[in-house]
Every structure is written in structure tokens, then in C-alpha cells.
């Protein structure tokens, strides 16, 4: 895409960040009363709310697995989350994101504990500014821990990309729209396994490796924020005397 | 009991090596190391490393006493919600009455509450409950409140010390289901006191000497009444 926008100037990006600097992130666990677990996350201009229900018996019955639970993640963008009103309801894009997030979460939840059950994760994007699937997955992970669901790890996600020929971390809105590539990655921080990876645009092999390393580095930073958010909520309980 | 502060652990946190301790509840083993699998409180005893969960669904165990709500009456059985991940089956053979085929609704109907015992949990986690034990019946009157299932042992206390204390001082009838549902019956203002006390236990479930603290509170309350 040809544009006149200069995405990089004197090594600084449009919003003044360095190439390896993340947008500010705020995570809060346990914000909803009726859900078993929930999380509110702000990541730059993204505002995401995740809620976990279950484990409960999966319906319709034919979706049940007699040996393990199924994970139903549902990613939804609010009509008012983007500049031009988004037509509400599931579309091709949100179905794809729901599917990849479900599969990423299936790899860390201990599903064998709940045969025939489903674990429902609702991810609601209230405000969007590029990188909502990463924000959604990160919020969903915190909500799952808050729900007390047994997990092998707390998954975490971060994107990297290429703008004006430079590999950078965590693309903003204009960088995503007018940049050359976007690479969202989700990992299991304890083992370093990759749970989700998609790529949009073009990268050379070298650039790809560079972007992947950068995204994983970002994941580890966010992972610490996730753990801090959970601890903050539950540390209070032990302090009561 | 150790006097050090109770530590909160989160999933994937490293707890120890299998050479030193055995992996207990709420933990999993990977490559010879023990990790926490749920959000909970760390509990290390000489043999095992356990994680007592802070939240989460009730996990039914055989012979647990629970409070269930009927969600469906079928021709020869009922489906009962016992706050677990799955509904439990209550068959007509497991109730103390002689129920004719298709007449289950005359005895228990949707929305009715029963005190029951978990009869069996199979590999697929199919649940069966029974009313055939002492003190199990259909609930009439009283009030049911919900508590976090993981806090139930605390509400009951060691050898039922906490719950008998509350019963003694408030003079009300209480039944605590392992699934976190609590039935209280008595005078309205006393029931209210019981609810306050239970909420307090839930909130301070991790502090030490809670039974003594509650006893002081109850003594003060009885003085106020008389």
C-alpha cells in the first residue's frame, strides 16, 4: 500500500515509541460479578473485557467429548469499537479469531479434568486500536486463572511487525494499516511453546526471525504484568487479619 | 500448623522437585518438577505439596452431603443442579417414597430443594445422588445462601467446631452442603446474624485463630440479645 505517512522518523515511531517499546498496558482481574472469572485489559487504545463461564455441561450434546472438555472462545467486536460503525454479529474475521484463540487456550487448560464439559470464554472488544486478538487472548488467560480453572501455564500474546523497512514490536493503528507486515504470536511463557502465530504481509527469513524474537520478548514482559494483576487481586485476601 | 504467612500461588508457578516431595492436589508434574495448576493457597506438609484452590467449581466426591435444586422431573428420575459442572441424576429408587412411573412431579418438582448425598461419580463424571441416608429430605422453609465451595471446610471447621459454635450461639438450624450451598432456618434476625458470620468467615478464611475470633463475636451478640 502506497501512502505519504512516514511511520518512522529519527528512530521514533508515530506515537514516539522506540522500535522495541510496547504501548502502555493495564490489567485488572475479577471485574464481573456473575461470571466465574473475568478480566479487563487496556492496551494502548484497545479496551477488552473477557469473561469465563464454566466448566459446565456442553450443549448441544454432540459437541461433547467424553474424554475431555472443549473450549468455546467467542471473540466479538462492539459496533462502536471502530471509527466506522462495525456491523454487529459474527463475521468471517471474528470467527477466525475465535477459532485460533480457542485452539491456543486448549493447549494450556487441563481439559482431562472435565470430561463432557465446555469452558466458555467471551472476549468483548469495546475499543479497538490494532492488536485486539493479542489483547483478547491475554485478557482471556487472566480471566481463566481468575475462574480457578486448572491450567499448565498462563498464555500470553504480543505482536511484532515491519514498518518502513524496520522490524518493530506491537504495531499501532496506523502502523498496522500502512505498515508492511504484522506477526501476532502467543506463547506459553513457562515452556516457550508457540500457541498461536499468524502473519499478514511480507517478511524475509531474517526479518521473520527478528520479528519473532521481538514478539516473544514482548510476551515475557506482558506475562509479568498478567501475574502481577492476579496477585494484586488475591494478595488482599491474605492481608486481612 | 506453621505460623508463617500463607502464600498465594498462580498456575505454572514452580513449587518443588519430585525428589523432595510428592505432588498433591492442585499440582501437576512436568520433567520432574512440581508446578501449581490452579490459583490457590500453598500448603506444604512433610509428604505432599498441595494447592488449596481459592475459586472454582465444586468437584463432587462420593458420600459428600450436598444441597441440590431440581431442574427437571423425568418419568423415573430427576435432574438436580448441585453446583457442579454437570447436573446430577436422582433416580426414584434413591428416594424414600414409593413413586409410581411418571408421577415424579407429585413428589419433587422443578425448583424444589433437597438435601442429598453423592452416591457415585463415574469416570465420565456422571453423577448420581441419593436421598436414602439419615437426615436427608426435601427442604421446607429456611433460607439458602451460596458460599465458595473451597471455603466450606473453613465454615465447618475442625471436627465441625466452627459450625457447632454458630448453631449453639444463634440457636438456628444450619446444614452446610459440600457444594457451597448453606441452608439456615430460625428466627429472622438470628438468620441474618448467621449470614453475617458466614460472610465474615469467607472473607477472612485465610487468617489464623478464626474460630476464637468468631466465638468472641458470638458471645457479644448473645449478650446484646438478652
Fold that domain B143-225 belongs to in CATH: Ribosomal Protein S8; Chain: A, domain 1 (3.30.1370)
Residues from chain B contacting residue A115 (CB–CB below 8 Å): 123-125
Interface contact flag, B38 A148, Cβ < 8 Å? yes
What is the total residue count of chain B? Answer: 226
Determine whether the interchain pair B124/A116 forms a contact, defined as Cβ–Cβ distance below 8 Å: yes
**Residue in B122, B146, B164, B142 with CA at minimum distance from that of residue B66:** B146
CA dist A30 and A119 (Å) reads 17
Would the CB atoms of B5 and A238 count as touching at under 8 Å? yes
Does the pLDDT value for residue A1 go beyond 60? no
pLDDT tens for A204-240 read: 999 999 999 999 999 999 999 999 999 999 887 665 5
User: DSSP for B50-87?
Assistant: EEEESS--B---TT-EEEEEEEEE-SSEEEEE-SBSS-
The CATH architecture annotation of domain B65-130 reads Beta Barrel (2.40)
Q: Does B53 touch chain A (CB under 8 A)?
A: yes
> According to CATH, where is 2.40.50.100 located in chain B?
8-53
Residue of A nearest to B206 (CA): A238
On the 0-12 / 13-18 / 19+ scale of CB atoms within 10 A, A150 is buried
CA distance A131 to chain B (A): 25
Cross-chain Cβ contact B10/A116 below 8 Å: no
Question: What residues of chain A lie within 8 A of the CB of B54, using their CB?
Answer: 148, 234, 237
- Where does chain B hold its CATH 3.30.1370.10 domain(s)? 143-225
Whether B189 and chain A come into contact, CB under 8 Å, resolves to: no
Give tens-digit pLDDT for A186-197.
999 999 999 999
Shortest distance between the Cα of A19 and any Cα of chain B, in A, equals: 30
Distance in angstroms (rounded) separating the CA atoms of residues A109 and A168: 31
- Which of B30, B135, B127 is closest to B88 using CA atoms? B127
Which residue from A189, A230, A238 is facing B206, i.e. has the nearest CB?
A238
In angstroms, what CA-CA distances link B181 with A180, A221, B83, B114? 56, 41, 8, 11
CATH entry 1.10.150.120 includes domain B8-53: no
- For B129-174, what is each residue's pLDDT tens digit? 999 998 898 999 999 999 999 889 889 988 899 999 999 888 889 9
Residue contact A240–B6, C-beta within 8 A? no
Q: Kindly determine whether residue A117 and residue B53, on different chains, have CB atoms separated by under 8 Å.
A: no
Q: What is the pLDDT of residue B209?
A: 82
Q: Would you say A37 and A30 are in contact if contact means Cβ atoms under 8 Å apart?
A: yes
Q: Would the CB atoms of B56 and A152 count as touching at under 8 Å?
A: no
Contact list in B for residue A190 (CB cut-off 8 A) is 12, 35
- The cell numbers describing B89, all together, are 441424576
> Using the beta-carbon criterion (under 8 Å), do A116 and B5 form an inter-chain contact?
no
pLDDT tens-digit readout, A143-185: 999 999 999 999 999 999 999 999 999 999 999 999 999 999 9
Whole-number Å distance between alpha carbons of B126 and B115:
19
Taking the complete model, does pTM exceed 0.90, yes or no?
yes
CA of B82: which chain A residue's CA is closest?
A: A56
pLDDT in tens, A97-133: 999 999 999 999 999 999 999 999 999 999 999 999 9
Where are the domain boundaries for CATH 2.40.50.140 in chain B?
65-130
What are the beta bridge partners of residue B184? B143, B174
ipTM of the complex: 0.90
List % helix, strand, coil for chain A (3-state, nearest 5).
30, 30, 35
Amino acid at each position: 500500500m502506497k501512502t505519504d505517512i512516514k511511520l518512522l522518523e529519527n528512530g521514533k515511531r508515530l506515537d514516539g515509541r522506540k522500535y522495541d517499546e510496547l504501548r502502555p498496558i493495564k490489567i485488572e482481574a475479577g471485574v464481573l460479578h456473575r461470571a466465574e472469572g473475568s478480566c479487563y485489559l487496556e492496551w494502548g487504545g484497545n479496551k477488552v473485557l473477557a469473561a469465563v463461564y464454566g466448566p459446565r455441561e456442553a450443549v448441544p450434546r454432540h459437541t461433547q467429548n467424553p474424554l475431555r472438555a472443549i473450549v468455546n472462545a467467542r471473540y466479538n467486536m462492539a459496533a462502536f469499537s471502530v471509527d466506522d460503525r462495525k456491523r454487529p454479529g459474527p463475521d468471517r474475521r471474528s470467527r477466525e479469531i475465535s477459532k485460533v484463540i480457542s485452539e491456543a487456550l486448549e493447549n494450556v487448560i487441563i481439559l482431562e479434568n472435565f470430561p463432557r464439559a465446555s469452558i466458555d470464554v467471551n472476549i468483548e472488544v469495546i475499543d479497538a486500536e490494532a492488536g485486539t486478538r493479542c489483547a483478547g487472548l491475554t485478557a482471556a488467560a487472566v480471566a481463566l486463572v481468575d475462574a480457578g480453572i486448572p491450567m499448565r501455564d498462563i498464555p500470553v500474546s504480543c505482536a511484532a511487525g515491519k514498518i518502513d523497512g524496520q522490524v518493530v514490536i506491537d504495531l499501532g493503528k496506523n502502523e498496522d494499516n500502512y505498515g508492511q507486515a504484522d506477526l501476532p504470536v502467543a506463547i506459553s511463557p513457562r515452556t516457550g511453546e508457540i500457541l498461536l502465530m499468524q502473519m499478514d504481509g511480507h517478511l524475509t527469513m531474517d526479518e521473520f526471525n527478528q520479528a519473532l524474537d521481538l514478539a516473544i520478548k514482548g510476551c515475557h514482559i506482558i506475562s509479568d504484568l498478567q501475574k502481577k494483576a492476579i496477585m494484586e487481586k488475591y494478595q488482599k485476601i491474605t492481608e486481612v487479619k | 500448623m506453621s505460623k508463617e504467612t500463607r502464600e498465594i500461588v498462580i498456575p505454572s508457578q514452580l513449587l518443588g522437585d519430585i525428589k523432595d516431595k510428592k505432588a498433591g492436589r492442585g499440582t501437576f508434574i512436568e520433567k520432574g518438577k512440581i508446578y501449581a495448576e490452579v490459583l490457590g493457597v500453598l500448603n506444604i506438609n512433610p509428604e505432599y505439596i498441595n494447592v488449596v484452590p481459592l475459586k472454582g467449581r465444586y468437584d463432587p466426591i462420593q458420600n459428600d452431603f450436598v444441597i441440590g435444586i431440581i431442574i427437571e422431573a423425568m418419568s423415573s428420575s430427576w435432574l438436580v443442579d448441585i453446583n457442579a459442572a454437570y447436573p446430577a441424576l436422582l433416580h426414584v429408587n434413591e428416594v424414600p417414597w414409593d413413586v409410581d412411573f411418571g408421577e415424579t412431579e407429585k413428589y419433587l418438582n422443578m425448583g424444589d430443594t433437597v438435601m442429598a448425598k453423592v452416591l457415585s461419580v463415574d469416570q465420565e463424571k456422571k453423577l448420581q445422588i441419593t436421598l436414602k441416608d439419615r437426615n436427608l429430605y426435601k427442604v421446607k422453609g429456611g433460607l439458602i445462601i451460596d458460599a465458595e465451595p473451597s471455603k466450606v471446610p473453613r465454615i465447618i471447621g475442625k471436627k465441625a467446631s466452627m459450625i457447632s459454635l454458630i448453631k449453639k450461639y444463634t440457636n438456628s438450624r444450619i446444614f452446610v452442603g459440600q457444594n457451597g450451598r448453606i441452608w439456615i432456618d430460625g428466627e429472622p434476625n438470628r438468620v441474618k446474624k448467621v449470614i453475617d458470620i458466614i460472610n465474615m468467615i469467607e472473607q477472612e478464611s485465610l487468617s489464623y485463630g478464626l474460630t476464637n475470633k468468631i466465638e468472641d463475636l458470638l458471645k457479644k451478640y448473645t449478650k446484646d440479645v438478652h
